[in-house]
Amino acid sequence: MKSAEMLLVQYETKAIKTFLREAPLEIRQRKEDLRSMYEGLQNAEQGLKLAEADLMTDISAETDPETGKAVFSNEKARAAELTRRKAHDPTYLEAQKEQRAAKADYEGAKDELDEIVDKYRSYRVIAELTTAELRLLAGFEPGGEVGNGSGGSVGISAQEVAAARDREEGY
Domain ranges of the chain: 3-169
Contact in structure between 99 and 44 (CB atoms under 8 Å): yes
**CB of 81 closer than 8 Å to CB of 59:** yes
* Mean pLDDT value across residues 125-140: 83
User: DSSP readout, 13-54?
Assistant: HHHHHHHHHHHHHHHHHHHHHHHHHHHHHHHHHHHHHHHHHH
Average pLDDT, whole number, for the chain? 86
Residue 155 region by backbone torsions, left for phi larger than 0, else alpha for psi between -120 and 50, else beta: left
**Mean pLDDT to the nearest integer, 86-101:** 98
This prediction has a pTM of 0.68
Q: For the segment 30-88, what is each residue's pLDDT rounded down to a tens digit?
A: 999 999 999 999 999 999 999 999 999 999 999 989 998 999 989 999 999 999 999 99
- Rounded to an integer, what distance in angstroms lies between the CA atom of residue 164 and that of residue 136? 18
Nearest to 11 by CA among 117, 120, 136: 136
Name the 3-class secondary structure at 146.
Answer: strand
pLDDT exceeds cutoff 70 at 169: no
Q: Which segment, 5-14, 27-36, 145-154, is predicted with the most confidence on average? A: 27-36
CA angle 42, 45, 50 (to 5 degrees): 125
Higher pLDDT, 127 or 136: 127
Lowest-confidence pick of 4-13, 52-61, 95-104, 161-170: 161-170
Please report the pLDDT score of residue 132 as a whole number: 84
Distance CA(85)–CA(78), nearest Å, equals 10
